[in-house]
Structure 1
Amino acid sequence: MRVFGVTGWKNSGKTGLMERLVAEICGRGLTVSTLKHAHHTFDVDHPGKDSHRHRVAGASQVILSSRNRWALMSELRGADEPSLETLLGKLDPVDLVLIEGYKRESHDKIEAHRAATGQPLIAPGDPTIVAVASDSAPDAGVPVLHLDDTGAIADFILERVGL
């Protein structure tokens, strides 16, 4: 599986770019999965639901399944967070995995950047950032693509990963 990341500061447009890239690349007939890192506690389950009750009762893993989808929830219960490599190994094979976040990992990334956030570029100090997608024209030392030009960004990523 080929992997490529989208990184950037909060409110830089990462999630919107990810969403557009998934639609664009899938529309070209390729299969895509995503992996997103969260820096905070999150829950995909809801209190009172059976699966939530199973987890609260102490289950290490809970699979929730229907005819439309299934989800596997694993509780760490104090164990270390799994590595990116471990999580990638849990995915079914696809053409491309787009990774949101994981700034410190070694895979190639594009930095989403919005001038209005006032945040500096990450790219100049990070050799894993191979391009910037921005709503301005910053001097990044790497190719800069317009944040809203999803087709050009998808072209860049697919060429970079060899698809």
Structure 2
Amino acid sequence: MQIYGVVGWKNSGKTGLMERLVTEITGRGFSVSTVKHAHHSFDVDHPGKDSHRHRVAGAREVLLASKSRWALMHELRDEDEPTLEELLTKLSDVDLVLVEGYKRDAHRKVEAHRQETGNALISPEDPTIRAIASDVALDNEKPVFDLNNTKEIADFILSDLGLSA
């Protein structure tokens, strides 16, 4: 299972790039899963639903299942946040796991960058960032792609990982 990340500051285009990359790469016949890091509390459940009631009652894990999908919710209950490496063990085997966030982890990454955010690039201090996807031309030692040229970015990622269709 290969891993490649998309990192960048808030509003840099990470999520849109991830979505387009999943479409592009699965369209080439590869199986893809994703991991998204959230810096805030989130909930995939809703108050009043049976599964929410189970969690509030104290269940450590609640598994929801239907004929369309299943989801496992795990309450940390004062445990430390799991590492990316630990979370990856929870996934089924696929050709590629695209990771949004986890910018400090050691896997290879592409940085999403939008000039309008006013943020400096992360890549100059991070050797794990292999390329930049930007909405403006940049003079950089690392390859720079148009943020909206999903095909070229996907070509780069797959080549960097040694995957070919």
Fold shared per TM-score above 0.5: yes
What is the SS of the residue equivalent to 1:43? coil
- 1:114 offset after TM fit, Å? 0.4
1:123–1:140 CA contact under 8 A, matched in 2: no
Match of 1:62 in 2: 62
Report deviation, 1:118: 0.7
Q: Distance between the aligned counterparts of 1:154 and 1:49, measured in 2?
A: 39
Aligned length in residues: 163
Partner of 1:30: 30
Q: Counterpart of 1:20?
A: 20
How many percent of aligned residue pairs carry the same amino acid? 69
Which amino acid is 2:2 matched to?
R
On the 8 A contact 1:121/1:140 being kept in 2, the answer is no
Q: Aligned residue for 1:110?
A: 110
Normalised to the residue count of structure 1, the TM-score between the two structures is: 0.99
2:133 maps to: 133
Local SS of the residue matching 1:106: coil
Shift of 1:10: 0.2
User: How far off is 1:138 after superposition?
Assistant: 1.7
Aligned counterpart, 2:83: 83
TM superposition score normalised by structure 2? 0.98
C-alpha root-mean-square deviation of aligned residues, in Å? 0.6
* Poorly superposed stretches of 4+, deviation over 4 Å: none
